[in-house]
């Protein structure tokens, strides 16, 4: 997602999966996966003259949660990118941002080989509160990624206490 939307050449840490990941990365439901992010991705996008977002894409596996704690400090918000082929793995991400009171949106990532869920199906399955926006996204498509980020910015602004900007 970061690479699809960044206006600068993104820093990426995508690497080919090797035998070193056996027993560490669960490929159930994504058996054809050949690469994985090994640290984080970084990019930037200008939303308006007043709003520039610095983007950090962190993997969802629990071994990266210490990194999440650092990235969450001062974060305006987050996009929880949900892989519907492994829907159950999104619970921890949703919980992470809910517990910290960080505004987030859920972006349902679409895959050619995955079931195409409606946003309300995902809301029900993950018990997402009604006020949390859910968008359909293809993390490879710039316009859909931009839409997710604009939705996040609007949601974060809406959650800002009156008088603060």
Digit-coded pLDDT (tens) for 85-138: 888 889 999 999 999 999 999 999 988 877 788 999 999 999 999 999 999 999
Rounded distance between C-alpha atoms, residue 2 and residue 81, angstroms = 11
Q: How many CA atoms lie within 13 A of 139 on its CB side?
A: 15
Digit-coded pLDDT (tens) for 68-86: 999 999 899 999 999 888 8
Q: How confident is the model at residue 140 (pLDDT cuts 50, 70, 90)?
A: very high
- Percent share of the chain, pLDDT over 90: 58
Q: Is 49 exposed, middle or buried (0-12, 13-18, 19+ CB in 10 A)?
A: exposed
Average pLDDT over residues 25-36: 58
Cβ neighbour number for residue 60 with a 10 Å cutoff: 18
Q: How confident is the model at residue 25 (pLDDT cuts 50, 70, 90)?
A: low
* 82 and 106 Cβ atoms separated by less than 8 Å: yes
Given a cut of 90, is residue 55 above it in pLDDT? yes
């Amino acid at each position: 997602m970061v690479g699809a939307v960044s206006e600068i050449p993104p820093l990426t840490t995508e690497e080919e999966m090797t035998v070193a990941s056996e027993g560490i990365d669960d490929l159930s439901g994504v058996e054809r996966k050949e690469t994985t992010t090994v640290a984080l991705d970084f990019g930037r996008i200008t939303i308006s003259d007043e709003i520039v977002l610095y983007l950090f894409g962190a993997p969802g596996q629990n071994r990266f949660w210490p990194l999440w704690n650092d990235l969450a400090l001062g974060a305006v918000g987050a996009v929880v990118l949900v892989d519907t082929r492994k829907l159950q793995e999104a619970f921890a991400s949703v919980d992470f941002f809910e517990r910290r009171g960080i505004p987030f949106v859920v972006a349902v990532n679409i895959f050619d080989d995955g079931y195409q869920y409606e946003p309300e199906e995902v809301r029900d399955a993950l018990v997402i509160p009604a006020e949390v926006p859910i968008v359909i996204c293809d993390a490879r498509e710039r316009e859909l990624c931009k839409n997710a980020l604009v939705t996040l910015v609007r949601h974060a602004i809406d959650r800002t206490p009156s008088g603060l900007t």
